[in-house]
Amino acid sequence: MASPTFSWQGNGDGTGCGIAWYDLYVGEALRKTVSGTTTSTTWNISSLGEGTHTWYWYVVARDTATNSTTSTSTFNISYDNAAPAVFNLTSPADNHCTRAASPVFSWENNGDGGCGIAQYHVVIDGDTKAVVSGSQTSTTINISGLAAGDHTWYVVAEDTATNTRQSTTSRTIKSDTTAPVAFALTSPADNYCTRAASPVFSWEGSSDGGCGIAQYHVVIDGDTKAVVSGSQTSTTINISGLAAGDHTWYVVAEDTATNTRQSTTSRTIKSDTTAPVAFDLTSPANNHCTNVASPTFSWQGNSDGSGCGIAWYYLVVDNVNTTTVSGIQTSTTFNLNPLGEGNHTWYVVAEDTATNTRQSTSNTLVFDVIEPNTTLTPHPDPTSDTTPTYSGHAADSTTWTAVSSQLFPE
């Protein structure tokens, strides 16, 4: 304050002539004289020079007879027209987003080269929301009641001479107590079974009307197995290390204010890297010979142990996958004609829903649909043998003998 008010006690003059004047002295110099009926006055102290200065002051009372008395006390007065030292805000950072009901605001305390800091004014959206005493060692305060949305804040330091200094910057804080928008899982489907060492997990991208999505937490069996940045365009990740068996998974979206939203559903994924149980063929028997064009091939129904279950059986003939049937079937037919006569090797492959496979033993099937080409050995004609023996051979090299009691029919 450039023109402070100086005050003193009004004294009398006893039985004398009465007080005529009061003389104000500042720094050994008479600065102002006022009427004896006055007990205070102002004086512009800035005339003593700019900056921070300290002087003592006193008052001399003079009566009409020119007798004088100096005040019993002298006081010091400091003139300080310099603003507090430059300082800045420390936290929260600019554009910080929070869900706290009472966020913490902090700033530097760089002191005052003059009279000292009296108080700090915390200003939010143009209004002083808190006043912190300059005598406190901490320049931190919690402020509640912030409405949702953006708020601009800064701090004003005020010294005991009422000089002020605003923090070098102002900052924005955003209040957000709303969870991200609901979202769902996309793949794998519920109860999906896989043998992949690192299966892919996908979900819908959430959005956030407040501070924006910070990250997604992929939770498997109650533990966060991966964190995906909310700034990524893809909401997909590969996760390895799943033990065999069932696992429950879901995703949690978290915004930059730490509000969270869990996916609308959770799902189960089953890890299965074990082949189906061993099994064998049942019919036709190994090396069976048939002229049936579409014979029935049968095998033992096997299980998948603790795995995902049998999905398919593949009938393989001569190393070609000829037929695929459901995992609940244990037989099928196949037309051998296109393969032609001869030996054909066949086996069955069982596949579970995780695509693990198990092959059966293999059998040989002989396919024969051509009649034998027989040749008779000529016999003397005429003959007196009443029990002739006829002999010959077939095209498949099978030797046979026929005996008849009659040469030719009548």
Within a domain: 180: no
Beta bridge partners of residue 213, listed in sequence order: 255
| pLDDT at residue 267, as a whole number | 98
Confidence of residue 179 (pLDDT cuts 50, 70, 90): very high
| pLDDT at residue 399, as a whole number | 40
CB 347 within 8 A of CB 362: yes
Average pLDDT over all residues of the chain: 88
Determine the 3-state secondary structure of 313 from DSSP.
strand
Output the CA torsion sign for 142, 147, 153, 158: negative
Within a domain: 222: yes
Residues 229 and 248 in one domain: yes
Residues 152 and 107 in one domain: yes
Residue 299: which domain range? 281-367
pLDDT tens digit sequence for 280-319:
999 999 999 999 999 999 999 888 888 899 999 999 999 9
Final residue in a domain of this structure, among 203, 238, 271: 271
Q: How many Å apart are CA 225 and CA 245, to the nearest integer?
A: 17
Residues 288 and 349 in one domain: yes
Within a domain: 372: no
CB 139 within 8 A of CB 122: no
Summarize the confidence of residues 242-251 as an average pLDDT. Answer: 96
| pLDDT at residue 402, as a whole number | 44
Q: Pick from 70, 61, 4, 11: which is nearest to 34 by CA?
A: 61
User: 180 pLDDT exceeds 80?
Assistant: yes
- Highest mean pLDDT pick, 51-55, 253-257, 392-396: 253-257
CB 131 within 8 A of CB 121: yes
Within a domain: 95: yes
Within a domain: 324: yes
List Cα–Cα distances, 94 to 89, 90, 98, 172, 255, in angstroms. Answer: 9, 9, 12, 5, 17
Question: What percentage of the chain reaches a pLDDT higher than 70?
Answer: 90
Beta bridge partners of residue 158, listed in sequence order: 119, 164
User: 326 pLDDT exceeds 70?
Assistant: yes
User: 244 pLDDT exceeds 60?
Assistant: yes
Q: Which residues of 70-108 are buried (b: 16+ CB within 10 A; e: fewer)?
A: ebeeeeeeebbbbbbbebebeebeeeebbbbeebebebb
Final residue in a domain of this structure, among 271, 303, 331: 271
Residues 102 and 167 in one domain: yes
Final residue in a domain of this structure, among 55, 80, 105: 80
Q: How many Å apart are CA 332 and CA 208, to the nearest integer?
A: 56
- Tabulate helix, strand, coil % of the chain (nearest 5): 0, 50, 50
Q: Which residues of 281-304 are buried (b: 16+ CB within 10 A; e: fewer)?
A: beebeeeeeeeeeebebebeebeb
Q: How many Å apart are CA 120 and CA 56, to the nearest integer?
A: 29
| pLDDT at residue 365, as a whole number | 96
Q: Which two tokens stand for residue 344?
A: 């054909």
Count of domains for the chain: 5
Summarize the confidence of residues 177-197 as an average pLDDT. Answer: 96
Q: Model-level pTM?
A: 0.70
Within a domain: 101: yes
CB 137 within 8 A of CB 99: no
Within a domain: 373: no
Q: Which two tokens stand for residue 297?
A: 């091939």
Which is higher by pLDDT, 91 or 378?
91
User: 13 pLDDT exceeds 80?
Assistant: no
Collect contacts of 280-283 with beta carbons under 8 A, ≥24 apart. Answer: 280/360, 280/361, 281/346, 281/347, 281/348, 281/360, 281/361, 281/362, 281/363, 282/330
Residue at token pair 């969270």: 260
CB 112 within 8 A of CB 85: yes
| CATH number reported for the structural domain that contains residue 117 in this entry | 2.60.40.10
Q: Which two tokens stand for residue 203?
A: 């979900």
User: 225 pLDDT exceeds 50?
Assistant: yes
Residues 95 and 74 in one domain: no
Residues 67 and 25 in one domain: yes
Residues 386 and 336 in one domain: no
389 — phi, psi (to 5°)? -110, 130
350 — phi, psi (to 5°)? -95, 135
Output the CA torsion sign for 32, 33, 35, 36: positive
| pLDDT at residue 395, as a whole number | 56
Within a domain: 276: no
